[in-house]
């Protein structure tokens, strides 16, 4: 079936099987490999992208559901001012170890700060509840997000 959607601000028309996963379309057809597969069943958040501004697990989204939607991956987001703030805050706070969870966490962070530019500790925990990280133990990611919210005041 033919599907039209917006990917990283660009209109795309593709021919796909409607049940194929958004994750595979992004990784295989568009070579957007920031989107990772950690579990393929909605448990780990490594595949998080934004759909109309909201964080979703792309492994759970069938192609049929993206018709007319705006999809944002880290490849698109990393050109923004807000990304720069997140990057420098994550660097400073030591939020990254093996990095496999990181793209998904960056996208969840963007989704959180869009909704809630000054989140408290519980709101940060809650926003990351779908992103597993096996390396950091999370606290230093929370620090990175807090720092981003602080340094990026006014950007979100």
Partner 1 sequence: MKDSISKPIPRVDAPAKISGEAKYIGDIRFKNQLFAKTVRSSRAKAGIVSIVKPELPEGYFIVDKDDIPGINRMRTVVSDQPIFAEEEVNYIGQPILLVVGPEREMIYDIISKIKIKYRDETPIFNLDEAEEKGAVFTEYSYSKGKPEAAFQDGLKIIEDEYHTGLQEHVYLEPQGMAAEYRDNTMFIYGSMQCPFYAEGALKDVLGWGSDRIRVIQSITGGAFGGKEEFPSLTACQVAVASLKTGHPVMMIYDRDEDIICTTKRHPSIVCYKAGLDRKNQVIALAIDIKFDAGAYSGISPVVLQRGMFSATGVYNFPHLSVRGRNFMTNNVPSGAYRGFGAPQTIFSMEMLMHNLAIKLGIDPLDYKIRHLLERGEPTCTGGKIWDEVKLPEIIEKVTAMSDYRRKIQSNGKYKGVGVALFLHGCGFTGNGEQLIKGKIILKKNGGTVILKVSSVEMGQGAETCLRKIVAHTLLLPMEKVTCETIDTGLIPDSGPTVASRTTMIVGGLLRQASLELKDRWNESDNIEVSRVYRHPDYLRWDNDTFHGDAYPTYSWGANVAEVEIDPITCEIDVKKVSAVYDVGTPIDETTLTGQMQGGIVQGIGWATVEVMNPSKGKLKQHNLTDYKIPTSMDIPEIACEFIENPYEFGPFGAKCAGELPFVGAAPAIAAAVSNALSVPIKNIPITPEYLMELDKHED
Site for partner 1, rule CB under 8 A: 27, 33-41, 43-44, 46, 73-75, 78, 83, 86-87, 90-94, 96-103, 106, 124-126, 128-129, 131-142
User: Which of partner 1, ligand FES, none sits in contact with 59, Cβ below 5 to 8 A by type?
Assistant: ligand FES
> Quick one: which of 7, 32, 49, 57 contacts ligand FES (CB under 6 A)?
57
User: Which of ligand FES, partner 1, none sits in contact with 47, Cβ below 5 to 8 A by type?
Assistant: ligand FES
Q: Closest separation between CB of residue 101 and ligand FES, Å? A: 3
Backbone angles phi, psi at 113, to 5 degrees: -70, -25
Is the Cβ of residue 4 or residue 138 nearer to partner 1 in the bound state?
A: 138
98 counts as binding ligand FES under rule CB under 6 A: yes
CA distance 156 to 8: 18
| 52-61 own/partner pairs: CB under 8 Å, 24+ apart | 53/111, 53/114, 54/111, 55/107, 55/108, 55/111, 55/112, 55/127, 55/130, 57/130, 58/21, 58/22, 58/23, 58/26, 59/21, 59/22, 59/23, 60/21, 61/21, 61/22, 61/23
Residues lying near ligand FES in the complex (CB under 6 A) = 37-40, 42-47, 57, 59, 96-101, 133-136
């Amino acid at each position: 079936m033919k599907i039209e959607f917006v990917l990283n601000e660009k209109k795309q028309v593709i021919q796909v099987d409607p049940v194929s996963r958004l994750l595979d379309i992004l990784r295989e057809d568009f070579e957007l490999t920031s989107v990772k597969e950690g579990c393929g069943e909605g448990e780990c958040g490594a595949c998080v992208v934004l759909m109309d501004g909201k964080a979703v697990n792309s492994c759970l989204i069938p192609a049929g559901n993206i018709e007319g939607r705006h999809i944002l991956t880290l490849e698109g987001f990393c050109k923004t001012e807000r990304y720069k703030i997140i990057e420098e805050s994550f660097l400073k706070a030591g939020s990254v170890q093996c990095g496999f969870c990181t793209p998904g966490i960056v996208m969840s962070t963007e989704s959180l700060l869009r909704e809630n530019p000054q989140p408290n500790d519980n709101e940060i925990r809650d926003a990351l509840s779908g992103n597993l990280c096996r390396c950091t133990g999370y606290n230093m990611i929370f620090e990175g997000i807090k720092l981003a919210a602080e340094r990026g005041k006014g950007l979100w």
